[in-house]
Chains A and B, each alone.
Chain A
Amino acid sequence: MRKASELHHVLSEKVAAVLPKSEWRKYLREALFRTLDKRSEAIQLMAHDFEKFRHDARRVKAHAVNNLDKLLQQFIQNCEKRGAKVYLAKDAEEACRIVYRIAEEKNARLITKSKSMTTEEIGLNQFLEKHELKVVDTDLGELIVQLAGERPFHLVYPAVHKTRQDVAELFSREAGRKLSDDIGELMNFAREYLREKFLTADLAITGVNIAIAETGTVIVETNEGNDRLGNIPAKTYIAVMGMEKLVEKIEDALKLIVAHPVSSTGQWLTNYVSFLSGRTPLAGRAEEREMHIVIIDNGRSSMRDDPVFREALYCIRCGACMNICPTYSSLGGHVFGHIYTGPIGIPWTAFVHGLEKAAEFAPLCISCGLCREICPTIIDMPYMIAEVKHRYIQKGGQMFVNKVVESYETAYRVGSKFPRLFNHLISSTTTRFLMEKFLGIERRRTLPKVAAKPLDKLLLGKVVENGADALFFADFFARYLRPDIGAKAVDALIHAGYRVSLPPQRSSGYPYFAYGDLDKARKQAEYNVRNLSKALSDGAVIVSIEPTATYTLKHLYPKLLNHIPEAEKVSEATTSLTMLLHTLTKDGKLEAKPVIEGRAAVHVPCHERAFNSCREVVALLESAGIEATVVETGTCCGMAGTFGMKHGVLGYELSNVVGEELFNRMKASSCSYVVSTSSVCKIHISDGTSLPVYHPLETLEFTAPRKR
């Protein structure tokens, strides 16, 4: 296993090669954002209750994975009854050999193939071509990358990185004549070129989107209809599928055939959805028309047997996690991926291509958590990715800079004893130069100053020891940087009639999680959960001014601590502070007045999205008479906690590239200031836009309601 520093070096070079391509990045980002917009429209139309829709899809996949052995047996029996031949391949090599053997028996020379990530996974094209068979990918995007000698860039859009000019060049080379870059002309060329292949191929291969156990049916979805043109004329047809494609019933399959297009391209349904139950005859002739189904394990059984990674098998390959991922949409799938790309590509690669391959691009996950929020089967990708990082660092070690940024709390705790000296040092050019050189902290990044007076002192006489109905979780921001905002939150709750306490606590420890140091994250969780649950009385709430802290208590701690009752209790009681304050003002229990004039551009931090509380931030500001507009790209600003503080392309530079579109929108919004609940997003947006950035509580003054 190569060392972390070696992998870091290779990845940095790949990232550095892509970062200067700003036009290409703009094009890629627009394409992915357009897809997300279409997805939202399709959800409105096809899945009004999207949470139910997601849970239904998850249930279908979970049921199938839980009963995989039984369903596999049932599927094989039913396929064989229909005359299909079924093969089980334990790994990529065996799968390729099975396909080759069938091709050899049929004396096949020309093979058409329709879009299948599973055949990419096993390297089928390369294997067959090594044995002098000609394989033609028939999906337009796949054909483009095949002619370019590249691998797919995206699960759903394999050639999204190619411009029409690139395609014209590739097709002209194949045509032996100059083609224009008119998309219609390019399409006509592809149609004619592939038509001939379809009609003369000896054998057709397709991937499989879903397989129904109860009927022995494989389902293939394509928008172009290339699967049909492949497997209708060819005498021999081979369907290659991963074993996780199985579902039990027709009704389960119907849920997924809707979930696929809605979540991936924003279509209501894929144009052609073929349910193939046995091989249908052609003009009454059934003889010589064979159907072979190759079912691949290749690491899937190990995934199923691993409690953390089991739910990676719920992936329906919609690619939505890639579209929303801030670093993927800045770098693309050739940097952020191996064969499987993007966030879900990390756990999948770890199991089908090895841990080290996954570790090569896992650091590009900056733990914003948006992949989990968008996933149609609610796969906890952030957790699995942290686990991949964790397993890798047991063997390849942790990067020094990650250890440094993880221990920021210690530095600020010491700094808080000597605030003037500390603040002077972190503002000094010489110190920052040394910090960059020896610690890896980017010198151009603004570092937050430590507060002169700690939170505990500001809250003296205000908080109670026992019997509180609100526990304040200060986290790093309120404890060391802006205790004044923390105190304001506590005051607001007291005005609204709450008795607030500040139980013993440490910061949330999210950076440990983000860098895969799960043992340290777990220790932090244990400490906080123990103290918070002890102080928690029935009906009490836990709040924080930092959305990442709220997110950690709510979503991460229970999983880190194996869902022990105390962690669940803490999670249950944790709520978004902005949501709570909005409810209190709406119910007349609190009054809010503006203390800053002008229009506010509201930024939505990623961990705020998990609470869907962005509307409440706007409503809270509006209730005080502040004109507020959400300005966003739909993805992360790029700071990602401490990621944007690190020196180099895998830190500061990438975080700026991720943030550039948001900064442009913020500047173009003509708002007087920006509001963000996140302390680190605040630094990044302020650095990137030069606009003043405030926590919402800084813009408001809360008072108890006047008596009527």
Chain B
Amino acid sequence: MASLAGFGKLHDVLGLFMERFRILGGYAALAENPESAATVAADFLRQHGSRTVFISKLPTGLTQPLEKKLKEMGLQVYSYDSSEDPVHVVKMVDAGISTAAAAVAETGTLVEVAFDDVERLVSSLPKTYVCFVNGSTVVKSVYMTSGLLRSAMERDRVSVTFISGPSRSGDIEQRLVLGIHGPHHVLSVVCSWL
């Protein structure tokens, strides 16, 4: 696992993001290169018993090592191109993988920008979800996302979602349960090489 040493000012923000994401019941890891990112993600899926995975968009340079790693581990990989009915495919898979446009440290939040709802399906339906995020896009506070939002909303149709850890509910006796509708296990991999 990579360390935060040598990240200068970014150190605090990335550290805070990962700390807060973990407090929310998620898992967080830092990866220094595509290979280590692929390994972290694949190990996580294995730990949570995933046999099938749907991959949506990935950061540059990650597709090949990740698919290779997943296939080596015997996982069946589905992707956007190969799916006829995305709802049907995504509801069958154990895990989903996609990429966030940014993250917010203070609140442990991933910022998903979707121009197509397949993106949202991947982070909504499967029990396990892995999200990659470019380390340089992690901002300190929610208020710093306004530029990103404004620019995304210039497109005619866009859905931006702030995702802070696994799906949760406290509706029965206020006892926190994870994974009520969406993912139960969520890993965010901060990609430091990007």
Q: Does A268 contact B (CB under 8 A)?
A: yes
By beta carbon, the residue of chain A nearest B114 is A280
Q: Is the CB of B182 within 8 A of A225?
A: yes
Alpha-carbon gap, A274 to B159, bound state (A): 7
- Residue of A199, A224, A273 near B87 (CB, 8 A) is A199
Known: A82-B157, A191-B179, A276-B159. A268 touches B108 (CB 8 A): yes
Give the dominant DSSP class at A's interface: mixed
Q: Does B52 contact A (CB under 8 A)?
A: no
Q: Does A461 contact B (CB under 8 A)?
A: no
Most chain B CB within a 10 A radius of its CB, from A45, A141, A224: A224
What is the 8 Å Cβ interface bit string for chain B, positions 16-30, against chain A (1 contact, 0 not)? 000010001000000
Q: Is the CB of A34 within 8 A of B181?
A: no
Binds A, one of B39-47, B57-65, B167-175: B167-175
Q: Does A459 contact B (CB under 8 A)?
A: no
Name the distance in Å between A83's Cβ and chain B's nearest Cβ. Answer: 7
Q: Is the CB of A254 within 8 A of B145?
A: yes
Q: Does B69 contact A (CB under 8 A)?
A: no
8 Å CB interface, B125-156 against A: 125, 142-143, 145-146, 149-150, 152-153, 155-156
Name the distance in Å between A702's Cβ and chain B's nearest Cβ. Answer: 47
By beta carbon, the residue of chain B nearest A216 is B153
Q: Give chain B residues whose Cβ lies under 8 Å from the Cβ of A268.
A: 20, 106-108, 164
Q: Give chain B residues whose Cβ lies under 8 Å from the Cβ of A225.
A: 124, 167, 180-182
Q: Is the CB of B172 within 8 A of A282?
A: no
Q: Give chain A residues whose Cβ lies under 8 Å from the Cβ of B115.
A: 280
Q: Give chain B residues whose Cβ lies under 8 Å from the Cβ of A215.
A: 150, 153
By beta carbon, the residue of chain B nearest A138 is B181
Q: Does B121 contact A (CB under 8 A)?
A: yes
Name the distance in Å between A298's Cβ and chain B's nearest Cβ. Answer: 27
How many chain A residues touch the partner (CB < 8 A)?
Answer: 68
By beta carbon, the residue of chain B nearest A158 is B171
Name the distance in Å between B1's Cβ and chain A's nearest Cβ. Answer: 25
Q: Give chain B residues whose Cβ lies under 8 Å from the Cβ of A276.
A: 159
By beta carbon, the residue of chain A nearest B149 is A250
Known pairs A159-B172, A224-B169, A258-B143; list 6 more (Cβ under 8 Å): A159-B171, A229-B124, A254-B145, A271-B168, A275-B159, A277-B158
Closest 3 CB pairs of A and B: A225-B182, A141-B171, A278-B157
Q: Which residues of B contact A (CB under 8 A)?
A: 20, 24, 80, 83, 85-87, 91, 104, 106-109, 114-118, 120-121, 124-125, 142-143, 145-146, 149-150, 152-153, 155-175, 177, 179-182
Q: Which residues of A contact B (CB under 8 A)?
A: 27, 31, 34-35, 45-46, 81-83, 138-141, 144, 157-160, 162-164, 167, 183-184, 186-187, 190-191, 194-195, 198-199, 215, 217, 223-226, 228-229, 232-233, 250-251, 254-255, 257-258, 265, 267-284, 286
